[in-house]
Amino acid sequence: MTWQVFLCADAESDLDRLDDEEQRLLADEMFGWVADGPFRLTARDVLGVRMFDDNLGERFRVTYVVEEDNRRILIVRIRRWRPA
């Protein structure tokens, strides 16, 4: 069974700020989530909602919510990230 990935309005704005190459890289990294689901490594509860904030590949940090029962991922924020 596959996962569905959705972007909220803020994430769409974040995506618009990326150049074409970055958008392609991000799409390639996210494609793995369709089959396997997200990593769910760094969790925190915000107002009763479990949110995750993880690296996606080597260039992005993504904040997202997972709806396990329906296999849905809501991307809340996308940020450029480079290790220090």
Would the pTM count as exceeding 0.75?
yes
CA distance 75 to 10: 9
Tens-place pLDDT, residues 31-76: 888 888 888 989 999 999 999 999 988 899 999 999 999 999 999 9
Confidence band of 17 (pLDDT split at 50, 70, 90): very high
pLDDT value at residue 84: 65
Give the position of tokens 């940020």.
79
DSSP state of 18: S
pLDDT value at residue 14: 93
The answer to whether 66 and 73 have CB atoms below 8 angstroms apart is yes
pLDDT value at residue 48: 92
CATH number at residue 39: 3.30.2310.20
Question: Which structural domain, as residue segments, surrounds residue 50?
Answer: 4-80
Number of domains within the chain: 1
